[in-house]
């Protein structure tokens, strides 16, 4: 007799494990299916998905290590600290990253046990219907088990998109997973794609001594960001940090040999050749819907292979939900987590909620870049009257004390109602500072509300306060 659950979650990435835990907290019997081991030494499945194993978390560990190395070489001296012969042991750096991943994946297993979530190891797919229950096949090492579920939440995530004709072996030509585990610093690193992954990983290896060339197909740099932020980032990355970023590039042939990788491409100046020791391909991601059995049950997909859902992540089928990278919208771990909680609460008859207009975006370069809401360019295109306030970190005492004054905070508010429409930050700790703006926008705050809140002194958060004051043209410290 098949095991039966109230909720079966397919996928244990951020959206999946959070959905499973929240559903269990609400009193449901829950199973979560996961198949990826991510090269686990014991061959066991690893929870946490791409984000925890080969994405968000390990990349931030490497970014932190490389940033400390860069500071030791260039910034300590301003504090009166002299360090000679600074060296980076890449093996130790990578081992630290792997230990962090192991600690967190093990922690999720503990959370499953604590919340009585049943973990099923194997590949999950739809096998059909049995009365009002869904049949889910779990293909594991010991064979295939079919379980029954009243509700199914699909959270199968995404995988790196590869360019046609470019074979990724994660030795010479790497995707995000391979680029996190180099055994040495390449002298010459090529990167295809100047998006979040390309900029972050390019930054890691540039700080450690690599010559980095980033090839981007788009004619504009960071087109999704507010262009004041993009302009500042371009200046810092190219002039101060020495990242070689080439825009408007068309990639041609990529070949590998004993001496490394050769990339043939074209730009406005004609045919070009890039020789590098390693190449990172970071040109976006695509949803994992193959092998899910969508065609057997009539689960609707769009033209890009994403599962079609409504505003509450419900599919075209009864009691089948989908969240995270496998549905339309930005492929962000925190977006998937919020969707997972929302779906679990909707299944329980509660008022699950997510506001897609207040999902923050972050790029963990140095300086960090973060934003929420509309850009100034979007407001102009949409014909929305607005007021703007922008304050540099150079006017902030804490930033000066830290020795890092790059960047600014920019706030956009409705010209009539003063409601905050967008906040854009480039600077130290932007990833942390953006949370205040998200909370404010979630509750419909005006710039005047931020201006009237007392911010601790001296802190970087005071720049947010000053930006709010600047919307009304009354900043106190600039």
Instruction: Count the Cβ atoms, other than its own, within 10 Å of residue 146.
Output: 13
Q: Is the pLDDT of residue 1 over 80?
A: no
Name the catalytic one among 79, 296, 312, 457.
457
**Among 32-46, 379-393, 432-446, the least confident range:** 32-46
Mean pLDDT of 98-125: 98
Report the DSSP pairing between strands 270-276 and 260-267: antiparallel
300: Cα within 13 Å, side-chain hemisphere: 11
Report how far Cα 305 is from the mean position of its chain's Cα atoms.
20
Residue 47, pLDDT > 80, answer yes
Q: For residue 237, give the DSSP letter.
A: I
pLDDT at 41: 84
pLDDT at 216: 98
> 181-219: per-residue pLDDT in tens?
999 999 999 999 999 999 999 999 999 999 999 999 999
The predicted structure's pLDDT at residue 19 = 99
The pTM of the whole model exceeds 0.85: yes
Please, which pLDDT band fits residue 40 given cuts at 50, 70 and 90? confident
Distinct helix (H) and strand (E) counts, the chain: 14, 22
Which pLDDT tens digit goes with each residue over 145-165? 999 999 999 999 999 999 998
Residue 289: the pLDDT is 97
What does the pLDDT read at residue 253?
95
Check residue 473 and give its pLDDT. 98
Query: Tell me, what's the pLDDT at 208?
Result: 97
pLDDT, residue 37, reads 87
Share of the chain above pLDDT 90, in %: 96
Q: Is the pLDDT of residue 242 over 90?
A: yes
Q: Give the pLDDT of residue 301.
A: 98
Confidence of residue 39 (pLDDT cuts 50, 70, 90): confident
Strand locations in 320-414, DSSP E? 320-322, 361-363, 368-373, 386-392, 408-414
First to last CA, the chain: 71
Reported as a pLDDT band with limits 50, 70 and 90, residue 282 is very high
457 is catalytic: yes
Q: Is the pLDDT of residue 57 over 80?
A: yes
Q: How far apart are CA 159 and CA 35, in angstroms?
A: 14
Mean pLDDT of the chain: 97
């Amino acid at each position: 007799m098949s095991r039966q659950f109230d909720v079966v979650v397919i996928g244990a990435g951020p959206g999946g494990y959070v959905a499973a835990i929240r559903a269990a907290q609400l009193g449901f019997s829950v199973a979560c299916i996961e198949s990826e081991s991510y090269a686990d030494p014991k061959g066991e499945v690893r929870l946490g998905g791409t984000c925890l194993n080969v994405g968000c978390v390990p990349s931030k560990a490497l970014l932190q290590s490389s940033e400390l190395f860069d500071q030791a070489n260039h910034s300590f001296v301003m504090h009166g600290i002299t360090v000679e012969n600074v060296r980076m042991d890449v093996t130790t750096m990578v081992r630290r990253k792997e230990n962090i991943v192991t600690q967190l994946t093990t922690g999720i297993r503990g959370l499953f046990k604590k919340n009585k979530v049943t973990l099923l190891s194997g590949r999950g797919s739809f096998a059909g219907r049995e009365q009002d229950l869904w049949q889910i096949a779990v293909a594991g090492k010991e064979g295939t088990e079919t379980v029954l579920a009243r509700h199914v939440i699909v959270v199968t995530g995404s995988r790196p998109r590869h360019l046609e004709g470019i074979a990724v072996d994660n030795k010479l030509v790497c995707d995000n997973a391979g680029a996190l585990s180099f055994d040495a610093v390449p002298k010459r690193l090529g990167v295809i794609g100047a998006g979040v992954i390309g900029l972050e990983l390019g930054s890691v290896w540039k700080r450690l001594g690599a010559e980095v060339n980033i090839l981007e197909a788009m004619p504009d740099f960071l087109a999704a960001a507010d262009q004041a932020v993009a302009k500042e980032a371009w200046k810092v990355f190219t002039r101060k940090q020495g990242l070689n970023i080439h825009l408007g590039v068309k990639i041609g042939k990529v070949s590998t040999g004993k001496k490394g990788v050769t990339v043939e491409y074209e730009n406005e100046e004609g045919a070009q050749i890039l020789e590098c020791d390693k190449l990172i391909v970071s040109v976006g991601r695509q949803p994992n819907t193959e092998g899910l059995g969508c065609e057997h049950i009539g689960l609707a997909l769009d033209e890009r292979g994403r599962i079609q859902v409504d505003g509450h992540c419900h599919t075209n089928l009864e009691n089948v939900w989908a969240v995270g990278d496998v549905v339309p919208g930005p492929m962000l771990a925190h977006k998937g987590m919020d969707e997972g909680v929302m779906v679990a609460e909707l299944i329980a008859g509660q008022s699950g909620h997510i506001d897609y207009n207040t999902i923050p975006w972050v790029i963990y370069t140095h300086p960090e870049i973060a934003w929420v809401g509309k850009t100034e360019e979007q407001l102009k295109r949409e014909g929305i009257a607005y007021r703007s306030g922008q304050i540099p970190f150079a006017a902030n005492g804490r930033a000066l004390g830290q020795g890092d004054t790059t960047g600014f905070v920019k706030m956009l508010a409705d010209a009539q109602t003063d409601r905050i429409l967008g906040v854009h930050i480039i600077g130290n700790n932007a990833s942390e500072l953006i949370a205040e703006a998200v909370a404010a926008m979630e509750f419909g705050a005006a710039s005047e509300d931020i201006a009237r809140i007392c911010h601790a002194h001296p802190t970087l958060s005071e720049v947010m306060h000053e930006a709010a004051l600047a919307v009304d043209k009354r900043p106190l410290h600039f």
